């Protein structure tokens, strides 16, 4: 597939480059690019004044080794909710909570739309590519993960992941995230966090209930399986949905598209 430069929202781009921004302090949006560069090179005072791209990358590919998740193409509504959950403390995380708290409402929307509109199917490290080539044990794990996804584990009362996350792990807008192509270590870590009671915010505790009924091998199997799937094209419906959840994001969506919905590659009905 030929490389296509990512389309970005202006505000979301500045945020990804420059977060922790002046606006978080002054209550005004968004940072100027000069300041952003300062933050990128680490000149900003305070641990939370870090650009998103320092860890997630400008295009949202994340870093499998460091445990920084991919955000590219993830539905904007879910990204927005994740930031709100970090900020409110229902999903406590020592890195993301102070970062999310430093964002204004508008900045959360802008940056969610920025990452949601990145194309996750382009070149770059993906969950699958980052994994060393597997032997028989790897194959067994992937197979087990496929069973969990499509059938679940009735013996443990675990329902099929695809009931909510979709058959190809593409997620279901507005709030069930895509798992396909996400970094394996991150997926495993999130399931373990739910098992250990360290992650909240899932509606009705649905993921906590599922993860607690998965043993360590099933956690590894699910993580490896979903990481091995090719990422789904970005969910433009998810970007549209954020405008319903948070209407002020509508302007950014227009800026992000560069073309009317329906003409962009990756649009899905």
- Omega within 30 of 0 (cis) for the link into 174: yes
Nearer to ligand HEC, 150 or 265 (CB): 150
Q: How far apart are CA 37 and CA 43, in angstroms?
A: 9
Q: Minimum CB separation from ligand HEC for residue 79, in Å?
A: 4
Q: Minimum CB separation from ligand HEC for residue 19, in Å?
A: 4
Mark the segment that binds ligand HEC (CB under 6 A) among 24-32, 50-58, 131-139, 237-245: 50-58
Q: Minimum CB separation from ligand HEC for residue 202, in Å?
A: 4
Q: Minimum CB separation from ligand HEC for residue 54, in Å?
A: 5
The two tokens of residue 215 are 């043993």
Burial tier of 36 (Cβ tally within 10 Å: 0-12, 13-18, 19+): buried
- Per-residue x/- track, 82-121, ligand HEC (CB under 6 A): xx---------x-xx--x---x-------x----------
At which residue do the structure tokens 């460091």 appear? 66
Q: Minimum CB separation from ligand HEC for residue 175, in Å?
A: 6
Q: Are 50 and 103 in contact (CB under 8 A)?
A: no
Q: Which one, of 188, 198, 190, 177, lies nearest residue 92 by Cα?
A: 198
Query: Which ranges constitute the DSSP H helices of the chain?
Result: 10-18, 22-26, 33-40, 53-56, 76-88, 96-101, 105-116, 127-130, 136-150, 162-165, 184-195, 206-212, 216-228, 236-245, 250-257
How many residues of this chain bind ligand HEC (CB under 6 A)? 42
Find the binder of ligand HEC among 14, 87, 187, 239 (CB under 6 A): 187
Mark the segment that binds ligand HEC (CB under 6 A) among 28-36, 127-135, 186-194, 239-247: 186-194
* DSSP SS3 for 158: strand
Find the binder of ligand HEC among 6, 38, 124, 201 (CB under 6 A): 201
Mark the segment that binds ligand HEC (CB under 6 A) among 38-46, 156-164, 235-243, 250-258: 156-164
Find the binder of ligand HEC among 148, 208, 236, 255 (CB under 6 A): 148
Q: How far apart are CA 233 and CA 155, in angstroms?
A: 34
Q: Are 22 and 28 in contact (CB under 8 A)?
A: yes
Contact status: 161 vs ligand HEC (CB under 6 A): yes
Nearer to ligand HEC, 25 or 163 (CB): 163
Q: Are 24 and 103 in contact (CB under 8 A)?
A: yes
Residues that bind ligand HEC (CB under 6 A): 19, 50, 52, 54-56, 67-69, 71, 79, 81-83, 93, 95-96, 99, 103, 111, 148, 158-159, 161, 163-165, 175-177, 179, 187, 189-191, 201-203, 206-207, 210, 222
């Amino acid at each position: 597939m030929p490389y296509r430069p990512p389309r970005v929202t202006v505000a979301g781009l500045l945020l990804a480059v420059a977060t922790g921004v002046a606006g978080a302090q002054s209550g005004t949006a968004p940072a100027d690019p000069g300041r952003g560069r300062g933050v990128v090179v680490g000149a900003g005072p305070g641990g939370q004044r870090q650009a998103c791209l320092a860890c997630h990358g400008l295009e949202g590919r994340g870093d499998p080794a460091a445990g920084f998740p991919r955000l590219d193409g993830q539905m904007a509504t879910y990204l927005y909710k994740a930031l709100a959950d970090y900020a409110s403390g229902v999903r406590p995380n020592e890195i993301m909570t102070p970062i999310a708290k430093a964002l204004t409402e508008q900045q959360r929307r802008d940056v969610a739309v920025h990452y949601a509109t990145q194309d996750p199917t382009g070149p770059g490290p993906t969950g699958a590519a980052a994994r060393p080539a597997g032997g028989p044990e790897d194959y067994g794990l992937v197979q087990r993960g496929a069973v969990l996804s499509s059938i679940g584990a009735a013996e443990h009362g675990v329902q099929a992941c695809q009931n909510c996350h979709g058959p190809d792990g593409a997620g279901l807008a507005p709030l069930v995230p895509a798992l396909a192509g996400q970094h394996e270590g991150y997926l495993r870590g999130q399931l373990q966090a739910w098992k250990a009671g360290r992650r909240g915010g899932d509606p009705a505790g649905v993921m906590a209930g599922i993860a607690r009924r998965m043993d360590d091998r099933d956690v590894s199997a699910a993580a490896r399986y979903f990481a091995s799937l090719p990422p789904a094209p970005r969910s433009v419906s998810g970007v549209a949905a954020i405008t319903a959840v948070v209407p002020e994001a509508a302007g950014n969506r227009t800026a992000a598209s560069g073309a009317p919905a329906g003409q962009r590659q990756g649009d899905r009905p």
